[in-house]
Structure 1
Amino acid sequence: MTGGILGFLGGIGLFLFGMETLTAALRSLAGEGLRRWLLRVTSSPLRGVLTGAGITAVVQSSTAVTVMTIGFVGAGLISFSQSLGVIYGANIGTTVTGWIIMLVGVKLKLGVVALPVLFVASLMGILGEGQLARLGRMLAGLSLLFIGLDLMQAASAGVEDFVPLDWLPGDTWAGRLAMAAIGLVLVAIMQSSSAGIALTLVLLGSGTLSFGQAAAMVVGMNMGTTLTGFLASLGGGSEMLRAALANLLFNFISALLAFSLLNLLAPLLHNPVTGPDDQTALVLFHTALNVLGAALFLPLTKPFGALVTWLVPDRPVTLAMALDPQLLADSGTALDAAARTATAITEAIGQALQAALAPQDARDLRPLAALPNKVEPARKALETWLSRLHLPPDRPELLNRMAALMHLTDHITRLTSRSEELDRIAHLADSPRLARPARAIAAALAKQRKVGQAARLFARIRGFALRHRRGALLREHAGMISPVEVFRETDALRWVDRVAEHAERLAHYEAQAAGPQMNSVRPA
């Protein structure tokens, strides 16, 4: 009895570790290509469903796809309504794992074959580098998954010794509700719906569960994954909480629909085409559960999005609101959040300078006075965020974005110091000759410009500052202005020159930090 329990638990543990290793390796192998694909093809809810299903089938993690999508929402690249299609699709895509487990693991029993593959994969992961090492980790994860499944199946032969069948709820409506609750708790503990499906398939194959009991467990597992994500999102931002709530409502309503139709669906799933096999029927049921849910919600995406937005209103806006801790799970998405934060800080400085440099009748110094309390916490949060990122050394595109963000943070720090030089800003605002270029710089900071446009604008402004600084010295030599006025004029012109330099560098590094997939879709 003890050996059976230990074998069963060991099999679950190997499966969970293999699934985690496989998912991490697939995400790393996919790289930025999948992120660019996800960003480009979510223009409609239907395309979002197809994209979400496809990418989830590739990376084997609906959570990773959801986090990536919400990162794009947070960066303003897609709307929350567009992200809902990807959420529907991710739930469909995650059912592919069940098919792999059932067709390859349960039916073919590849645990023995996986042992030599695990040996070769381990050597690839230890001795190889870059893509070869990632491929090794992927094969190792896949091997562990099948070995764990074999252990579970071997131990399930004596499962009645440690799980008496009369302990389980009967195959009645009340019993099925209890089995759904068990499925929900199991997935909440294991943190993997794929492991839950594998466990259910094994118990169904051993005769421990009837089809109705197993289907009810699958319904509970579908809800269990979303509950975990919802609890994890409570400390995050509004967009993450909305996505988690949308996922929870989608799965809950889909589960209610499937649960109520279970007796009607059971005969249809056991048909001459697929055969009377309970395990095949269970995987079909899992897929049908999510496909039916997507079909129900797809026409209602806009009102559903509006309902979720109403249930989760925007929180007080801060410059660092994009730095949601949940986004750290994906390096590319975490860099997107950092780039958005850097841009928000830059724009806030530009808007405060615009108000302070405005003509006398429209001038407002309050935003500039409030700027340190807004910018400083956000800048520190950005620095902390960047220090928490751990990027793979063989991913140059991510490392380049990280380097650009470090430069951005440095220029933001120096630009913040320039915005505190109130005497020079006041002189520029009151000067008929100098106010115009100073306002042009502030306007460029407050609204993103393309790199080429920014470089040309700031080059003209810096040339203007150099010429007028020389002119001020000549006017002092000619006795036209006093030395005090010369110092004020040259100090103000030096401010224009330095701020123009920071602004040009900020535009340059913002484009690099955003990455190629962002620049290809960013509005002009």
Structure 2
Amino acid sequence: MLDTIFPFVGGVGLFLVGMMLLSDGLVAFAGGALRRGLIRFTGTPFKAFSSGALITALVQSSTATTVTLIGFVSAGLITFSQAIGVVIGASLGSTATGWLVAGLGLQVKLGFYTLPLIGLGALIKLLAHGRWAGIGLALAGFGLLFLGLDMLQDGMRGLAGVFNLARLPVGGFWAHIAVMLIGLAMTALLQSSAAAIATTLTALHTGTINFDQAAAVVVGAAIGTTLTSAIVAIGANVSAKRTALAHILFNLVAGLIAIALLPALLAVIEFLDRYFNTTAGPLSLTTFHTLFILLGVAVFLPQTSRFAQVVERLLPERSDNLVRHLDNSLLSVPAIALEAAQRALEHMALRLFSLYSRILDSPSMPIQPDELPQLHEALQQTFDFVTRTQVASDDKPLSGQRIALLHAIDHLLRMTARLRELRHAPIEFANARYREAVEHSRSMLVAAEGGAAGPPALPGTKSLELVKQEAKALTELAHQVRREILKHAGTDGNTSQALHILDAFRWMDRAARHVSRICHYLKAGRAWSERLNNKEADGGFDLPDEPEQD
């Protein structure tokens, strides 16, 4: 008994570990390129579908694709409508594991021959650094995957003599539903549809179950793989929950279509087997898996926009939350977490600059009582989020972006406090005495409102230089006014008015410095982000010059 159970459980475990190492290694080696590709090639539903399928096939994990995708949507890097195409593509790309197992792993016992890959991969992981250490992980994972398959085959042959799995329900709609639920439970238990499908392929290969039963199990595994997405989306924002729900609905509907049309699909597989003169084995089962996913693609892909609208109605956006993209789930991927914080701060900066512009244009303080407190609270939450984002000390781009964002938050908080001061000590901006200072402030805000916007509207260095020039002009004007007022202090007999004018110019000078530094650090954060995403062109991005003082 133990001679059967131990190899079976060990084989499943080795296969799971191999899949995790293979996926993690490939993502570590080419993760940056894959992330850029996922963002870049999602312009249309077909492009999003193609990128999702290709990336999932490359990293051998639909879970890795969908979890990363949820992070992208949470961070606002891609829209929910684009994410649906990637989700559909990831479901098709997940069939690549079945083709690998059925076409290679079960046809030839490769476990013995891949043993050197495990040793070589471990050695590369220990000696190499950076991306190349990921290659070591991938090689070791590839070897463990086939070693696990060999052990799983041995265990499955023994298991057939202990448990008669052929007694599982067979024939009829409800029998197929029952076996499908077994496949779903297997995937939920193993937390990997690839492992459940590999186990099913092995069972079919060894004659432990028949083809009809294996087909229903595969359908259940395809539905069960969405559980990981659902778990990741718990506590996440609405965009992430929508992405997870879209993944669940697609696989569920595709699976139910497969169960409903199972006799017809099996007839198609039987025809293909006769045509190619093959037997109903693992390759036929993998063909069945791919076929019913393609049926789901044919139903959903042309209706991507309508599907998105349905999901959005099921999970509506409840409020305009400034920090809605800052999910704790993003903290495990620092690059995405900091990008989400960068975009949130750019949005908050625009909101703050707009408030300042409205104050300059109207002396009646046209700000809602809760606007500044909400902005202050959002900045505090963003500060907490950025400080909890752990970045490796040797990762210069991420460290640089993190520091720049913390500086930007500091000056945004100070600027928010400056605007709140006006409620207690208002300035008559319409007074002719302040006309020149107000004009400089308005010109600065026009440039700043362009300079704080996120890509692709982020302008070049000229706009930032204009902001700094206007801020410097305000500083010089404030110093000039201070000298004039102090020179004539006491001669006109209106000391309190002179002090009020001095305070007003000092306030505008300091506000301008904060605006200048907010733009500087947001620009620096964006430059570090571009450097991170274009490491091959590391020298192609100039960071803004440091301000003279903070």
**Is TM > 0.5 for Structure 1 vs Structure 2?**
yes
CA–CA separation in structure 2 for the residues paired with 1:391 and 1:323: 17
Contact in 2 for aligned 1:68/1:327 (Cα 8 Å): no
Q: Name the CA shift for 1:473/1:392 in 2 (closer, same or farther; >3 Å).
A: closer
Q: Deviations over 1:44-74 (max 9, x none)?
A: 1111111111111112222332344444444
Pair 1:450 & 2:459 matched: yes
CA–CA separation in structure 1 for the residues paired with 2:424 and 2:179: 72
Q: Name the CA shift for 1:3/1:417 in 2 (closer, same or farther; >3 Å).
A: farther
Contact in 2 for aligned 1:356/1:425 (Cα 8 Å): no
Aligned equivalent of 1:272, options 271, 275, 290? 275
Q: Shift of the alpha carbon at 1:327?
A: 3.1
What is the match of residue 85 of structure 2?
85
What is the match of residue 433 of structure 1?
436
Aligned length, in residue pairs: 517
1:217-296 correspondence runs (5 A): 217-269=217-269, 270-273=273-276, 275-296=278-299
Q: Name the CA shift for 1:423/1:178 in 2 (closer, same or farther; >3 Å).
A: closer
Greater mean alpha carbon deviation, residues 343-352 or residues 288-297: 343-352
What is the match of residue 3 of structure 1?
3
Aligned equivalent of 1:472, options 470, 477, 481? 481
Q: Shift of the alpha carbon at 1:427?
A: 2.1
Greater mean alpha carbon deviation, residues 384-393 or residues 26-35: 384-393
SS in 1 for 2:57: helix
Contact in 2 for aligned 1:65/1:90 (Cα 8 Å): yes
Q: Name the CA shift for 1:352/1:298 in 2 (closer, same or farther; >3 Å).
A: same
1:125-524 correspondence runs (5 A): 125-165=125-165, 168-269=168-269, 270-273=273-276, 275-360=278-363, 363-366=365-368, 370-376=371-377, 378-391=378-391, 396-422=396-422, 426-427=426-427, 429-430=429-430, 431-442=434-445, 448=453, 449-476=458-485, 477-478=487-488, 482=495, 483-512=498-527, 514-515=529-530
Q: Name the CA shift for 1:267/1:425 in 2 (closer, same or farther; >3 Å).
A: farther
Determine what percentage of the aligned residue pairs are the same residue.
33
Q: Name the CA shift for 1:10/1:499 in 2 (closer, same or farther; >3 Å).
A: same
Contact in 2 for aligned 1:8/1:152 (Cα 8 Å): yes
SS in 1 for 2:429: helix
Q: Shift of the alpha carbon at 1:200?
A: 0.6
Q: Shift of the alpha carbon at 1:248?
A: 1.3
Q: Name the CA shift for 1:274/1:320 in 2 (closer, same or farther; >3 Å).
A: farther
Contact in 1 for aligned 2:29/2:134 (Cα 8 Å): yes
CA–CA separation in structure 2 for the residues paired with 1:392 and 1:101: 37
CA–CA separation in structure 2 for the residues paired with 1:418 and 1:443: 19
Greater mean alpha carbon deviation, residues 506-515 or residues 195-204: 506-515
Output the amino acid matched with 2:439: R
Contact in 2 for aligned 1:180/1:219 (Cα 8 Å): yes
| RMSD (Å) for aligned C-alpha atoms | 2.8
SS in 1 for 2:225: helix
CA–CA separation in structure 2 for the residues paired with 1:165 and 1:34: 41
CA–CA separation in structure 1 for the residues paired with 2:34 and 2:441: 42
Contact in 2 for aligned 1:15/1:147 (Cα 8 Å): yes
Contact in 2 for aligned 1:427/1:492 (Cα 8 Å): no
Contact in 2 for aligned 1:357/1:428 (Cα 8 Å): no
CA–CA separation in structure 2 for the residues paired with 1:283 and 1:185: 20
Contact in 2 for aligned 1:171/1:210 (Cα 8 Å): no
Q: Deviations over 1:109-167 (max 9, x none)?
A: 21111222111211111222223321111111111111111111111111134433365
Q: Shift of the alpha carbon at 1:495?
A: 1.6
Pair 1:45 & 2:45 matched: yes
5+ long unaligned stretches in structure 2:
538-550
Q: Name the CA shift for 1:116/1:44 in 2 (closer, same or farther; >3 Å).
A: same
Q: Name the CA shift for 1:74/1:133 in 2 (closer, same or farther; >3 Å).
A: closer
Contact in 1 for aligned 2:234/2:241 (Cα 8 Å): yes
CA–CA separation in structure 2 for the residues paired with 1:331 and 1:348: 25
SS in 1 for 2:148: helix
Q: Shift of the alpha carbon at 1:391?
A: 4.3
CA–CA separation in structure 2 for the residues paired with 1:513 and 1:408: 14
CA–CA separation in structure 2 for the residues paired with 1:222 and 1:2: 30
Output the amino acid matched with 1:340: R
Contact in 1 for aligned 2:66/2:90 (Cα 8 Å): yes
Q: Shift of the alpha carbon at 1:440?
A: 4.3
SS in 2 for 1:433: helix
Output the amino acid matched with 1:293: G
Pair 1:64 & 2:70 matched: no
Contact in 1 for aligned 2:179/2:216 (Cα 8 Å): yes
SS in 2 for 1:305: helix
Q: Deviations over 1:384-414 (max 9, x none)?
A: 4334434456655444433433443343344
SS in 2 for 1:432: helix
Q: Name the CA shift for 1:113/1:518 in 2 (closer, same or farther; >3 Å).
A: closer
TM-score by length of 1: 0.90
CA–CA separation in structure 2 for the residues paired with 1:424 and 1:518: 46
Contact in 1 for aligned 2:156/2:202 (Cα 8 Å): yes
Output the amino acid matched with 1:217: V
Contact in 2 for aligned 1:216/1:259 (Cα 8 Å): yes
Q: Name the CA shift for 1:387/1:510 in 2 (closer, same or farther; >3 Å).
A: closer
Greater mean alpha carbon deviation, residues 25-34 or residues 157-166: 157-166
Contact in 1 for aligned 2:237/2:324 (Cα 8 Å): yes
Contact in 2 for aligned 1:53/1:92 (Cα 8 Å): yes
CA–CA separation in structure 1 for the residues paired with 2:425 and 2:500: 15
Contact in 2 for aligned 1:233/1:241 (Cα 8 Å): yes
CA–CA separation in structure 2 for the residues paired with 1:428 and 1:138: 67
Q: Shift of the alpha carbon at 1:263?
A: 1.6
CA–CA separation in structure 2 for the residues paired with 1:398 and 1:499: 24
